[in-house]
Amino acid sequence: MGIFKAGITVEYLNQWSRNTMAENIGLEFTQIGDDFLVANMPVDKRTQQPLGLLHGGASVAMAETMGSVAASLCVNPDKQFCVGLDINANHLRGVKQGFVTGVTRPVHIGKKTQVWEIRITNEAGELVCISRITMAVLDKKE
């Protein structure tokens, strides 16, 4: 048994992302593991900077989306919700075309904070960006 709520599917995550930045940048969840999520994002006119390279902001948007979704799947949505506190990213390699793949895994899952690492690779499996997001776990008001 994994860390995420039972019954969550890739289809649900992609439907949940409709009409959000994730949909606008073409981010698509592809796998849910016991303690990780995987998503792909195209490198195209939606995610490139003027020189034709993957925009660092697109990588950060991918990382924030993946970490936020993963964190939200670890709390009871009737009682709590998660919001980003801090995110950092190191951009290690340029990408001009194709797809990048992100994998997010927990570093820490606590009662009031969560920390997630997101590793983004190119189609050759080379590390493009590594990011870490800290999430606040907040209680819903009754």
Active-site residue list:
64
**CA dihedral sign, ordered 67, 43, 52, 22:** negative
Q: Please state, in angstroms and rounded to a whole number, the distance separating the CA atoms of residues 48 and 58.
A: 8
Q: Please state, in angstroms and rounded to a whole number, the distance separating the CA atoms of residues 55 and 4.
A: 30
CA angle 63, 69, 72 (to 5 degrees): 135
- The CA-atom distances, in angstroms, between 40 and each of 14, 26, 29, 49, 93 are 11, 8, 6, 18, 17
Spatial contact of 71 and 137, defined as CB atoms under 8 Å apart: yes
The SS3 of residue 142 is coil
